[in-house]
Homo-oligomer: A and B are copies of this chain.
Amino acid sequence: MSAEPVELTELRRRAGEIADLGGIGGLLLWDQNTMMPSGGADARADQFAALERILHDRITDPALGKLLDALESFEASADPDSDDAALIRNLRRDQHKAVNVPTELAAEISSAGAHAQQAWMAARDAADFARFAPALEHVLDLTHRYIACFDAGGEFAHPYDVLLDDYEPSLTTEEVKEIFTTIQQELVPLVSAAAAAGEDGRVFPGHFPQDAQRGLADELLRAVGYDPEHWRLDPAVHPFARSMAHTDVRVTTRWEEDDLAMAVYSCLHEFGHGLYEAQMDPRHYRTTLAEATGLGVHESQSRLWENLVGRSRSFCEYALPLMRKHLGGPFEAIEVPQLYRNVNQVRLSLIRIEADETTYNLHIALRFELELALIEGRLAVKDLPEAWNEATYRLLGLETPSLKEGVLQDIHWGTGMIGYFPTYTIGNLMSAQLWRALSTDLPEIEASIAAGDFAPLREWLRDNIHRQGRKYTSRELLKRATGEELRVDPFLEYLEGKLLDAGLLTAPVRVPRS
């Protein structure tokens, strides 16, 4: 093989610097949400802005564009599955997306998001949508200007495609619409049947001291694959995961003494995110290939550990003795079938982040429907609260007694994150498809989990998802791992099957579709 082009060496150097700056950004964010004294917020905003300007300069640097141009023939002759070709592809895409947005517009979007977030908090506290409406209208206006930056190229068929492309590239608005149409049709009857038969009450009744919860969480996390040499666990108001590199992964949780489920399931959820980052291919360190390929795939990893693993019968078998060991009392009185039923109970509720696994995607369907209508101009901001309440009744059968339990419950729109919500559902769908594929490859998976051996699962995910990083689009990655396109049925079948198995449904509800 001939020596590599000098441009490729230089491209790699630049990718390395961009990755280093990304890792630094991860630390700024992690620290802000875990360690930073509250009075440091303004200085942190300045530090973020400085870092983002430098990153933006690096990505839009015309010299990078020239390198990419000079590498065109190399790329054309390279194996498209090679690391080099993927690196060039990723950097070309990143530069294309960054140069199309004028610096002033990017700054205006960032500042409007910060202001709208303040307005959202004030509106929520005052239960007054009018305080949020002008800020949201401004965000929407800027979102339209952002979309317009990409319209000229004709690469997107629908304005919302531009937004989707930021979070989950390779999916179109049409596809997402179809997914949510099916979800609405199928989930509404399933939820109402299961909720009717479901238990009422908390997942884990009892009061559990923080230290005991921490003991349980430590043992569970170590079992699934948390490695103290490379990971940390800290409390955070809104649990999240962030890595500075594949060797430095930080996860967070929340200790609520009256709600053990918060810690247990947020630990598993964030562990899933963290493991994706930790199991990137070390050979891809300091390249774009050591990044997640999309938020949908990232969410598929967190949901897989939280739900497919954490709410399975075999995990209940494994975890119940640990719960008894660390928390005693209430867990002495229950057996696996009861635990399994408790963690899968279906309860209609108004708040997305408190929703159970089955109803969760109806909350996302609602948000997708409304944000699409906002972007298509079919819905005015002033009419949003009413539209929210109407959809809540239509999808969940619930009246919305307050704005805080309604349209003002989520931060996303205020910060400009329109097009983000669907990634939650995409992650759920993918996780079920991945589970099906890995269950075929690992027929003993349930027994392994019951025995507390999570290594086969970790290795399957490493080979099929994690170590691929951002080499393929999520669509290609899913196809390579499962042989399929994104589908709704495996997820619905998994849900119904589990509800039946747990005794939360007495008979099948779904009619198999052609």
Contact = CB atoms under 8 A, between A and B. Distances in A.
B248 A39 contact: yes
B47 A24 contact: yes
A37 B232 contact: yes
A260 interface: no
A385 B46 CA distance: 49
Interface in A11-32: 16-17, 20-21, 23-24, 27-28, 31
A171 interface: no
B39 A51 contact: no
A33 interface: no
Contact of A229 (B38, B228, B244, B286): B38
Interface string A250-294: 000000000000000000000000000000000001100000000
Given A31-B31, A244-B47, A37 B231 contact: yes
Contacts of A27: 27-28, 31, 47
B228 A40 contact: no
A465 interface: no
B229 A35 contact: no
Contact of A20 (B46, B227, B232): B46
Given A24-B28, A28-B27, A54-B54, A35 B232 contact: yes
A155 interface: no
A510 interface: no
Contacts of A227: 39
Given A31-B27, A42-B247, A20 B37 contact: no
A248 B50 contact: no
A1 interface: no
Contacts of A36: 248
Nearest to A21: B50
Contacts of A51: 20, 24
A43 interface: yes
Contacts of A40: 230, 244-245, 247-248
A412 interface: no
B286 A37 contact: no
Contact of A39 (B31, B44, B247): B247
Contacts of A44: 244, 248
A482 to B, nearest CB: 32
Contacts of A53: 17
Interface string A285-305: 110000000000000000000
A16 B46 CA distance: 9
Nearest to A230: B39
21 contacts: A17-B53, A23-B47, A24-B28, A24-B50, A24-B51, A27-B27, A35-B35, A36-B248, A37-B228, A37-B229, A37-B230, A37-B247, A37-B248, A37-B249, A38-B229, A40-B230, A40-B245, A40-B248, A43-B248, A46-B286, A54-B54
Interface of A: 16-17, 20-21, 23-24, 27-28, 31, 35-40, 42-44, 46-47, 49-51, 53-54, 227-232, 244-245, 247-249, 285-286
Across chains A and B, which 4 residue pairs bring their CB atoms closest together, nearest first? A40-B248, A43-B245, A20-B50, A39-B230
